[in-house]
Structure 1
Amino acid sequence: MQQNQNFDIDLVDILLEKSKEIGIQVHLQHSVESIEKEQGKFHVYARKKEDITRFEADIVIHGAGRGPALDMNLEKGNIERKKHGVHVNEYLQSVSNPNVYAAGDAAATDGLPLTPVASADSHVVASNLLKGNSKKIEYPVIPSAVFTVPKMASVGMSEEEAKNSGRNIKVKQKNISDWFTYKRTNEDFAAFKVLIDEDHDQIVGAHLISNEADELINHFATAIRFGISTKELKQMIFAYPTAASDIAHML
Structure 2
Amino acid sequence: MLKIIIKISLTLLLFSQAACTTISLKESHFIKPDKRIQLSDLKAINRSAKTQLITIASQDGIQLRGTLITIDNAKATILYFGGNQFRVNIAGGEPATALLPLQTNILMIDHRGYGLSDGKPTIDNLKQDALTVFDFAKQHSELVNAPIIVHGHSLGSMIASYVASQRSVAALVLEGSVTNVEQMTQSRIPWYAKPFIELNYSPELRKIDNLKVMEQYTAPLLIITGEKDTQTPSSLAKDLYAHSASKHKQLYIAQGKHHGDALDGAELKKHYEVLLAQLTPNSL
**What TM-score bracket applies, with the shorter chain setting the length?**
under 0.3
* Structure of greater Rg: 1
- By percentage of residues, which structure has more helix? 2
Q: What TM-score results when the alignment is normalised by the length of structure 2?
A: 0.25
- By percentage of residues, which structure has more strand? 1
Q: Which one has more relative contact order, counting CA pairs under 8 Å at least 6 apart? A: 2
